[in-house]
Amino acid sequence: MADYYYQMTTDQVHHSGRAVTDLTDGAFGLARRYFGLIDDERGVVGHQRVSGALDRYRTTWQPAVNEVALEIDALGGATAGGAVMVAAADDDAGHLLNVQAGAAQAAGSALSRPIDGSVAV
C-alpha cells in the first residue's frame, strides 16, 4: 500500500494566492469600465426603449460581474490561507514527532535493562 501525503512548497503557494488576490482590483476595474461604457451608450442612444433595455441589461449582469471579482478575491485568500495552514500543520507535526521520539528513546532504555535487576555491561 502506498503512503499518501501532501507535498507543497508553501512559500510559493502563499505567494501565488496573494498574486491572485491582487487581481481583484483589476476585475472590479474592468466591471466599472464595462458598465461605464453601457451607461455612456445609454446616454448617446436617445431612444427610450433602447435606454430601458440597456438599463435592464446592466441591472441583470452587474451583480454577476461583481461576483466574479469577489470570487477572485476569495480564491486567492483561500489559496494563501491553505498554504499557511499546511505550513503550521507541518511545524506542529515536526514538534510532536520530536517529543514522541524522545519519549520512545527514554522508554527504550528503561525496557532494555536485564530482567534480574543486574546492570547490563
How many domains does the chain contain in total? 1
In a domain, 62, yes or no: yes
| 26 part of a folded domain | yes
What is the C-alpha separation between 59 and 62, in angstroms, rounded?
6
Measured CA to CA, the distance from residue 14 to residue 9 in angstroms comes to 9
| Residue at 43 is within a domain | yes
Q: Which domain holds residue 70?
A: 12-87
- What H or E segment, with its residue span, contains residue 25? helix 24-45
pLDDT per position in the chain (121 positions), as tens?
Answer: 567 776 778 899 999 999 999 999 999 999 999 999 999 988 888 889 999 999 999 999 999 999 999 999 999 999 999 999 988 988 888 888 888 777 777 666 655 666 666 665 5
Location of C-alpha cell 527514554: 106
Asked whether residue 60 is assigned to any structural domain, the reply reads: yes
